[in-house]
Amino acid sequence: MALTLEEIAQRFGGEIVGDATVRVGGLAPLDQAQPHQLAFLANPKYLAQVEATRAGAVLIAPADLEKLSSHEGRNFIVTPNPYAYFARVAQMFIDLAAPALPHGVHPSAVVDPSAQVAKTAVIGPHVVIEAGAIVDEGARLDANVFVGRGTTIGEGSHLYPNVTVYHGCKIGPRAIVHAGAVIGSDGFGFAPDFTGAGDARTGTWVKIPQVGGVTIAADVEIGANTTIDRGAMADTVIEECVKIDNLVQIGHNCRIGAYTVIAGCAGIAGSTTIGKHCMIGGAVGIAGHVTLGDYVIVTAKSGVSKSLPKAGIYTSAFPAVEHAEWNKSAALMRNLDKLRERIKALEAAVEKRDGAA
């Protein structure tokens, strides 16, 4: 499973400097790589490691290559983005080494006769696929995955164990959905139907039926135990190449723009639209019915309660400091109006005196 630099460059691009016939069979960090391995320089501050590495070849950016004292006896694949190149080559070696899974449906799976499962799909033990669902070529459904009525799983998608996809959802090609994620659960919507107040209040919450679905475009990754609710009338939409971390909540009728990344424990309330190429930090909370423009960055732990149409970085989180110090500042903050009153009084006193003078 070793490839020549030439074979790698044919597949992933880049220009070879040195011996194109050298064979490598895996990747390793510069300081640990052996002659049969490929290393990469993602950060110029490690340039000295390139001079010292035993790697068979190094992925390097053109500007960094020029900084080397000599290329003598070394081999390179020159590429503008060695880190992304590394990721692609590493994935290829992992795929080559992975045991081939037998196509077909595990005998313990329960597949409705009206569901369409492609021949090259891999359906694991105890998977359940309901009526009218479609599982495309090369899709892989691991143990205990549930696919509801009429739902579509795109080509080459991989659903890890215990994933639940409700009825009437569409998952695009090459999706990765990690274990325990839930797609298509009911949005949180209830009509209050109460009369009276206080102890005399009677009535109930009436559930608003959630009859939209979830539409997920191509190349989306969804983290473990993340939840994406179905829409009330129209669909909740996740655009192409969105990457969502673990334990994220996305409410009904949200739209998440292409290439946006959302870190773990974030929560996005219903009917909110997030633009393309946004970065939502960990544990960020975003209110419902707001709109974030393209290229908006919200830093970790911040809360968004209004629309942020302009690209930029937004924050509302404090870093933890020593408890006693924090308590002092917090107490002062709660009494800011008193400080302001004292300033006002001082201004009046100084004004009066200046006037008197």
Q: Which of residues 157-216 bind a second copy (CB under 8 A)?
A: 160-162, 164, 166, 176, 178-180, 182, 185-186, 188, 190-194, 198-199, 201, 204-209, 211
* Interface region with a second copy, contact rule CB under 8 A, candidates 1-9, 16-24, 67-75, 221-229: 221-229
Asked if 101 interacts with a second copy (CB under 8 A), we say no
CB-based contacts of 310-317 (< 8 A; 24+ apart in sequence): none
Query: What CA–CA distance (Å, rounded) separates 19 from 14?
Result: 14
Please state the closest distance from residue 72 (CB atom) to a second copy, in A. Answer: 30
Binding segment toward a second copy, per CB under 8 A, in 44-52, 54-62, 64-72, 300-308: 300-308
Rounded Cα distance, 86 and 336, in Å: 53
> Which of these ranges, 57-65, 66-74, 115-123, 223-231, lies near a second copy under the rule CB under 8 A?
223-231
Query: In angstroms, rounded to a whole number, what is the distance separating the alpha carbons of residues 58 and 54?
Result: 10
- Residue 6 in contact with a second copy, rule: CB under 8 A: no
Whether the CB-CB separation of 279 and 299 falls below 8 Å is answered with no
DSSP tag of 285: E
Sheet containing strand 221-222, edge to edge, reads 104-105, 122-123, 140-141, 158-159, 176-177, 221-222, 243-244, 261-262, 279-280, 296-298
- Interface pattern 304-333 for a second copy (x via CB under 8 A): xxx-x---xxxxxxxxxxxx-xxxxxx-xx
167 is catalytic: no
Q: Between residues 120 and 249, which has the closer beta carbon with respect to a second copy? A: 249
Query: Could you give the CA distance from residue 214 to residue 193 in angstroms, rounded to a whole number?
Result: 28
- Select from 18, 154, 257, 267 the one that contacts a second copy (CB under 8 A): 267
**What is the Cα–Cα distance from 125 to 140, expressed in whole angstroms?**
11
Considering only residues 50, 117, 122, 241, which one is a binding residue for a second copy as defined by CB under 8 A? 241
Catalytic option among 126, 252, 289, 323? 252
Number of residues this chain uses to bind a second copy (CB under 8 A): 126
Residue positions annotated with a catalytic role: 252
